[in-house]
Structure 1
């Protein structure tokens, strides 16, 4: 459930800009390659890119930045603007991101992340059950909220085998976020970082907004330099430039090593 397929959108360079920049540009001189690479990473991981995801057109802003760099170095395009358009379904989290357990308000991105959810406006109040493992028990009300401590085994499924649990959270040592291209059939499922909850509060309040986009349009960015000695052969370099984007209005994931460093 939490390991939904992450779609990555690669751009292709038919020559490595940094390694061979002296062949086609005087803008980056010897000894300046590192500083240029750092500039690329800093820009791609900056707040202005919105995490290079699908809220506030973060991926499109990043693509336009890459396009500008391609033009600066004189790369040729297979199309009019270096873009290869395509679309895919995506579930985004652009709005409210409020989780309160007892009197404790959790911070998105620091204390919790959203694993998956069904409704675009998810606002509930539930009673909490704490479990090490969730098993089918006819005495339990599966319409309540279940918090399951993985105790070092984060692969354990949060829901029971008959998928009865609709509202749940895993207590984990490390928050790992992934992009979802589908909506849950029902309920909501969170990941909560260990030690974020003090004690065992019995009430949870959620107010989370998501927006499912069945055909989100994105783009690969493709540029090339024609060869002189072997013009009919290609060396292909690629990296995905998108990242996780935003979770709510105030939290974004910079992605300096996924894959801004690869782009640089």
Structure 2
């Protein structure tokens, strides 16, 4: 299934995309896609519903983050061999993990806002993993059982804040709008080969990133098992699993007001974002 949350910010409703690409309303069957509603039991129940019986949503509503009430947004750094090479850094012996503030989460087509004083805002297309069941010290062999599904993530990063201002990476990773997720959550039963997913990202219609999950250093089961050693993963937590080569840091080219970003992953959908200047809310 392709599960979505659609509508105005803070007023999103649950829905699904049918085989013909139509958006259908699921609010009569599930309150939202958060917590216990991401369990295998609930997802199996939803999968039994004939999409033809669900109301079609008219127009082109905004899509929000396909998961509600995200508790943790976890990033993985330098997880593609070709990206580590372009950065001139050694292959990590263990996964590099960091946290992105949940306040950075935004819909897949919401604008990216340059932070106040930003000079080096960058892009990173990534495979997102959505946890569906509590995971604590799980094995690699069992890890995928704890996954509800997969999605596209743009791990937007301000490199000066992240790398040049001292301290941890978090400062450059959690700015408002730095976590576009979606357009939908594809349940794990529909993603057959996690090691063969093509990723891409364009800025102003120029290809910047082209990659494949086959060059990931640590695969999804390894990451879920590893992270669950250090923190309990709860349903609705999102893991961004790293990015392929072609980031702005390597190109010495960063986002500016007026840029247009498009990115996607085969089978998981596409995002697009306008880049805007800093705005007070």
TM-score tier by shorter-chain length is under 0.3
Higher Cα radius of gyration: 1
Could you tell me the TM-score, scaled by structure 1's length?
A: 0.22
Q: Which has the higher helix share?
A: 2
